[in-house]
Structure 1
């Protein structure tokens, strides 16, 4: 193993030098001009500022026919100017049938069946870090941060746009303030720029700077924007105060709470931003899709809290951070004495505050620092004889830290370092995790090489140290793609204090071959064929675990019907080293054969649907797993749409862990039926106002037929004397009805009604009507909440209190924009 690491890092040292060689990709250029009177952002190009503005044109088709010259009937022209406050785009997109321009209204940060105009800006001109701004023909905004084609659309900027339909096409106007951008403090600016247009009814995408789909990533093909000089960058400081109130009712008990707090964003310099959240309030975050979990690992739910989802590009490096740990379940347990019972164990820990600093220098060095503090949390214990109660700390005051250094170079290469740390007060568990990462692409953007090494340290009653490592390469160009990878993880690897790690103690060998169409052929717009091989072994002591062959495919016709399927098998069976839940044990599982097919119809139609059929057949009598997913959607109009999802899972004669009766591990043979139903309906009044209904019901029942004792060789022996009941039925019911209004840029008012019910009973096989009767007999949680937040820009606020150097500029914009779009 030591020789493997030495060889690996010697090779990577050579590759770093090669990856930094100068690229040869040609780039488009445009030089823009300064204006003294800015254009009005009203979706019209009739302002004097646009008369002599430089024009970007000659767009090239990106997809489906990569490299095709766009006809004059669909010509796109974009005028670009700037002033001391920001940069302006005025795009005219010709369309011979403007009445057919697709304009579905959606909520902000969503794109539906829409034509749209897209701007990519890279203030450091390094082809690796960009900001994206999209406005649809319906006037809806979408924005994101992008690093090497990885988009973080949770990032929200405050910028301004308007659109209009003309007799021969449509117009999109944008104003993007410098306060929302990142660029070096220089007299002369040189930025990366690309622009795209979506021509939705033919599902064609056109780009200003041609994007070659045969190799490399999207971001390396941007052009260059010149002409911005001697601008006075504004102070990047904004405040977002909020106030919220909740009326909650549960099991006949009502409670009213009022909260208030503040989010602060401060641009420390041109590259780095400080985000702080004081007195957090996450009461209106989306509900979790809870499930009945019978696996050996916890369920990893999505992060829903805005502060933890926005601007996470750096902090997601290496996947060492699972932010749900912060303010999640307490880490401690309760020691019960004689005649004591647990009365209250809190489900979560309250967050006191959190802050993060992130950014990237003009030399490509990214820096991220995150800190959060959570409250001391106590459980309540009661003496069953005396009635006396006491409290016990289950989570002390805790501090969470993340440090990230990410040096980017070349077109698509980086070297990174990440450290996470959790320190808990007193004698509670502390933890640290550190990772080093290399990702190197050659100068032709045809091959990628990568490696990583991570270590974890946990201090509890004992010290536990673990290691994870990965190395691989891939061919990222042409119709034929390949990849090879080796990864390992020791059994003591544990990042679960601030990250998420499930399987451990393995070494994995992975190989991939893929073939794709680079241009439409015959009746197909695209085709992907993928072949994957996995060989997994237990690391200590060595044991074969599984060998997996996987083939999957997807096809899209020229009428945009997408379909595909695949086949997967473990032809020589599996030694499952995780299901027994005890180190050194394994459960023999038979080989399985897994075919599946799927279809997705054209989303441009009012009615569309997705359908998947997935079947696992095992080399065991009557053992099967069938999954059917059905998701129709209907667009009643450009304002009103409805989505329905139904998932059916049927497991027959499955086997899994049920109990540990020292020294025996009990395995149960079970049947499990799961039905998950969800419905979402949206009515969008305009680009800033919407009503949304979200419903989900999850039902899962499991019944056990036989029980077995696990043997040392992985086989099982039937245990007719084991008589404990492990049958169960779990229900989760959620309804959210919300009204949202973006009444000013960055400012939002939300009304939310939420109803939720949850139940678990140790039985199965109950008729459906009886199941719902039992569910609705449980205590229900009903919550009504109102939350209002308001975005305040420092440069605007200081104008309220007197003269300053930029007041003339802000007054000019305020007057020019008449308050319709701009809110200075």
Structure 2
């Protein structure tokens, strides 16, 4: 990697080197000052025995079956939070036994006041009230585990744990059985976990990691069987040991889950449009399957998958031109997501972004004003297969392949003539992932490879025909995992027509057409691009009261991941440094707190020093469980290569921002969060004010309601509008935008029992922007705002009598030099789901869904409240009624 150095950038290169050297010295000094000696951890061991021949255990929560007598009780839990290491307020004990196919767990949670046991009903994976949880590291890799949780009300929870406890995947829904009972001593729970739902290798005696975690709700106290310090570097690595599982045979999982979906759509009809007569009906049949090739490696298959019951994406609008990242919600892609993840940089940058599979078609039909078009909203996934798992030897393996079909827009004219036009081609996606643990599971090294191949016809040759990415990552931990060094390097190679590659070079991610960039330029003859990126970081993750990290991230100008990955911006080098002080010993004032300082700076591959930021963060959880979060930052240098969309580098005025959030005790049946964010740039260049209100209310155990509302004001004197030309030169137009955005997400859940619930989600989203004081860029990197842009005078700008455009006579000679389309906007969206969910037997469900939605444009001259009334409350909405039934066969 080399940087192009010009006379003008020598000073910036020196500053860059100083920042990098400072970060390295910071880490070395911090490691010397704050390093801790190794601590001796006493690892507890529970030794189980097999159920006696002929004895059985009935899962009723009573713990009265004779089979329980063959194994001893284990107790002596210690407090994890808040008074770490002390004796708990209430005692807990458990037993574990097994037979050929199941692991059985019996737990007694004592409570001196049984009438005060909190037994809140909720949907699966909603951890409310008093609960008990068992975590099992059956891989014994000290990084991953399986979590099974049950509340005093009998509500199930289950999660797959990865990254040593940094990631808990609640989408993992294994088949297992549980029951609870409340009596005069407290409450008890029984669990029956099939070995087929756990992953382990074949050996004489299984040795697994084990942890039990109890939440005593009234005191918000967490107690553990295996003691763990609050300054521990992780979660799974701190588990105790389960022994005594002799000669259990790995169970090859075989599950087949067919489904049937009936869907009826009703929407406002459009006169004369044959594709919009007011209603549609569809019937869909598909199949999901899970096949255990071995006990620890699984093949997942899906044919004609349906994602109809998945929540809608939240409302969002971006004026900076960049794509918006949305979380994956589809179960097939979420399960074992940790194996396929390759977050190589920061933010959401990832080599694999599964939302690319089944994306909205990228092409549009060529139609006339007298033709009607039925444009598909998503690409159809014809089928997908995923091979994934982790072996007892520490190999994590993943291979995913998916095919999306040709997607056509149907077109019909007024005479009834019909035709179709391809808008998304047949596409094949492949992702391969491997990682290997070594050094007693303290280190790993891994790799990833992806391939996207499209069958491109002439009308879609603006799409890339193929895209390949690869990467290698590693992490090494030492001193009881308290210290680590990690890094990765990635590469990409894309091919396509000259049009496709030129389009890529001009995209917002790359902007090779930047007029002042000497290291990149648009080559219209190219048919491929090859780029690289990566990260190197080291830091302290545990031990004592200090945490710190620092490193370097880079993305070369030609790096491109967006065929099956996510990359916001290429051409960047970023240096980071962070330090935090933890206060983990409770006092009479707080339960825990932390303070942090962070700094980062960015450069591009032309040697430009673009940005530096210093930030302070603080958090405190008070003794009464209320909390406060506060932060502030200073940005003395902000340059951007993207603001002018291919124009010259742009300078923003210096910025300061601060935020304050506080909230009440989340255990209470009514609790709230209030938040305020304020950002101000020098010379009033731009500002941001965001107000946040969240309310949670549970009037009785079976019902809860939550409201999350945000209002944002974001004025900007130099919001980009368009590019035009004047006297043969490029002219970049900006304006003073007054933008206001409002959204409110409303959810309620009524649980008839742990397996039958009704849930509602609704969110109106409104964003309105009006522009005044149009101006053109004069000197984009001038320190003063008045020198950066020049306002149009009243003699230079006027409104068109025939169109909604602005007419510009820049040289005031009486002739119109160019026009600006009126950029005012008002975007309105409403999405809602009312879902009845019934898990009639474990793993098999029925969904009855009623969805409503409306998307449109409001009147920018009206207030947000008026647009809310007219475009959402007063608008006829699209309605969908969906019935989905699944049945899981376990063979």
DSSP-derived class of the 1:588 partner: strand
Distance 2:492 2:689 in 1: 38
> Contact 1:702–1:764 at 8 Å: present in 2 too?
no
Deviation at 1:170, TM superposition (A): 0.9
DSSP-derived class of the 1:49 partner: helix
Write out per-residue CA displacement over residues 262-293 of structure 1, whole angstroms, 9 at most, x where no aligned residue.
Answer: 11001001210011111211112111112222
Distance 1:343 1:661 in 2: 32
How does 1:192-591 map onto structure 2 within 5 Å?
192-252=209-269, 253-318=278-343, 319-332=350-363, 343-380=373-410, 390-409=419-438, 410-426=440-456, 428-429=463-464, 430-461=466-497, 462-477=527-542, 478-539=544-605, 541-570=606-635, 572-582=636-646, 585-591=648-654
Distance 1:83 1:419 in 2: 41
Write out per-residue CA displacement over residues 770-804 of structure 1, whole angstroms, 9 at most, x where no aligned residue.
Answer: 6522446655211111111111110xxxxxxxxxx
Distance 2:708 2:759 in 1: 16
Deviation at 1:206, TM superposition (A): 0.9
> Residues 538, 382 of structure 1: CA spacing in aligned structure 2 closer, same or farther, 3 A cutoff?
farther
> Residues 773, 680 of structure 1: CA spacing in aligned structure 2 closer, same or farther, 3 A cutoff?
same
Distance 1:268 1:188 in 2: 22
DSSP-derived class of the 1:769 partner: helix
Question: Equivalent residue for 1:675?
Answer: 742
> Contact 1:54–1:81 at 8 Å: present in 2 too?
no
2:142 to 110, 127, 138: 127
> Residues 646, 777 of structure 1: CA spacing in aligned structure 2 closer, same or farther, 3 A cutoff?
closer
Write out per-residue CA displacement over residues 539-558 of structure 1, whole angstroms, 9 at most, x where no aligned residue.
Answer: 2x221211111111110111
TM-score, structure 1 as length reference: 0.90
Write out per-residue CA displacement over residues 33-76 of structure 1, whole angstroms, 9 at most, x where no aligned residue.
Answer: 111322111010111011232222111111112211336xx221
* Structure 2 residues not aligned, in runs of 5+: 4-16, 28-37, 270-277, 344-349, 458-462, 498-526, 782-787, 798-807, 809-818
> Residues 778, 124 of structure 1: CA spacing in aligned structure 2 closer, same or farther, 3 A cutoff?
same
TM-score, structure 2 as length reference: 0.83
DSSP-derived class of the 2:715 partner: strand
- Shifted more, 514-523 versus 74-83: the winner is 514-523
* Structure 1 residues not aligned, in runs of 5+: 12-21, 795-824
Distance 2:456 2:684 in 1: 54
Question: Equivalent residue for 1:61?
Answer: 79
> Contact 2:723–2:731 at 8 Å: present in 1 too?
yes
- Shifted more, 289-298 versus 653-662: the winner is 653-662
Q: Does 1:32 align with 2:48?
A: yes
Write out per-residue CA displacement over residues 611-669 of structure 1, whole angstroms, 9 at most, x where no aligned residue.
Answer: 10111111123843100000111111111111111100011235322223253332222
How does 1:51-200 map onto structure 2 within 5 Å?
51-70=69-88, 74-112=90-128, 114-147=129-162, 148-149=164-165, 150-200=167-217
DSSP-derived class of the 2:838 partner: strand
> Contact 1:38–1:83 at 8 Å: present in 2 too?
no
> Contact 1:123–1:130 at 8 Å: present in 2 too?
yes
Write out per-residue CA displacement over residues 207-247 of structure 1, whole angstroms, 9 at most, x where no aligned residue.
Answer: 11111222321111111111111224433101111111011
Distance 1:439 1:233 in 2: 30
> Contact 1:411–1:443 at 8 Å: present in 2 too?
no
> Contact 1:595–1:616 at 8 Å: present in 2 too?
yes
> Residues 41, 767 of structure 1: CA spacing in aligned structure 2 closer, same or farther, 3 A cutoff?
closer
Distance 1:419 1:631 in 2: 42
Distance 1:767 1:442 in 2: 55
Distance 2:446 2:481 in 1: 20
Deviation at 1:299, TM superposition (A): 1.1
Deviation at 1:389, TM superposition (A): 5.6
Distance 1:426 1:643 in 2: 47
Distance 1:654 1:101 in 2: 57
Deviation at 1:743, TM superposition (A): 0.7
> Residues 472, 341 of structure 1: CA spacing in aligned structure 2 closer, same or farther, 3 A cutoff?
farther
Distance 1:94 1:775 in 2: 51
Deviation at 1:323, TM superposition (A): 1.1
Question: Equivalent residue for 1:718?
Answer: 791
What is the Cα-based RMSD across aligned positions, in Å?
A: 2.4
Q: Does 1:649 align with 2:712?
A: yes
Distance 1:450 1:536 in 2: 20
> Contact 2:267–2:879 at 8 Å: present in 1 too?
yes
> Residues 331, 653 of structure 1: CA spacing in aligned structure 2 closer, same or farther, 3 A cutoff?
closer
Distance 2:871 2:615 in 1: 42
Pairs aligned (count) = 773
